[in-house]
Amino acid sequence: MKLVLTEFVTLDGVSQGPGSPTEDTSDGFTRGGWLVPYIDEVFVQRTAEWLHRADGLLLGRRTYDAFARDWPQITDPSDPYTKLMNSLPKYVVSTTLREGDWQPTTVLAALDGVDELKKRSGGELQVHGSARLGCSLLMAGLVDVVRLVVAPTVLGAGRRLFEHRMDAVGLKPMRHELTPRGLALFEYETVGAASVGEYEGFSAFV
């Protein structure tokens, strides 16, 4: 399976609490719900298409607990995500969780289990939220694709996606799209270590 990291972020890189002011108030965060004003039909269509490529969800403990609390409560038959979110296999990387009650759930004690999952045939193993896990997976060279939905807002506070110390990672742009309400959708393929260079004047690039 291909490992895909999907994240919603602001222009200043905040990934905490995109869907509601009460979604994640840890560390005193009070600015949640920043994605909601920009959600439109194109965003829903595209993210639903992404989810349909998944053969499993890979989550950290914090995100798993929030998803397990909220997704089973959504009963709207027209919701494009609920059936898949509740039925797809869930894999949780955690050293404290022994078993999950949002079935089907498998607990992985270490990233070694992720490497084994990737060797299975199938579509995508998708990480949603779980910023700390996502950074660990990137650092371990396990992420194949990064999908970002960037909201046109600057919060100035909140937990940032790539704030954790990690090695530099190179990304190759694959696709991009701007939705009618201003969400920027980016898809990147990971290409190993990030490249660097030294500017030697305009003539070197023409």
pLDDT at 150 over 80: yes
**Confidence grade of residue 67 (pLDDT, cut at 50, 70, 90):** very high
**Mean pLDDT of all residues in 90-109:** 93
CATH class of this structure's domain 2-204: alpha beta
Q: Which residue has the tokens 């409560």?
A: 73
d(CA 17, CA 23): 5
As given in the structure block, the two tokens for residue 165 are 């110390």
Q: Given strand 169-178, what is the order of strands in its sheet?
A: 105-108, 90-93, 54-60, 124-128, 2-10, 145-151, 184-193, 169-178
pLDDT at 110 over 90: no
Residue 164 or residue 26, greater confidence: 26
Domain coordinates in residue numbering, the chain: 2-204
How much is the pTM? 0.92
Q: Which residue has the tokens 């998803």?
A: 67
**Confidence grade of residue 157 (pLDDT, cut at 50, 70, 90):** very high
According to the model, what pLDDT value does residue 38 have?
98
Nearest to 107 by CA among 146, 52, 54, 68: 68
What is the chain's mean pLDDT, rounded?
A: 93
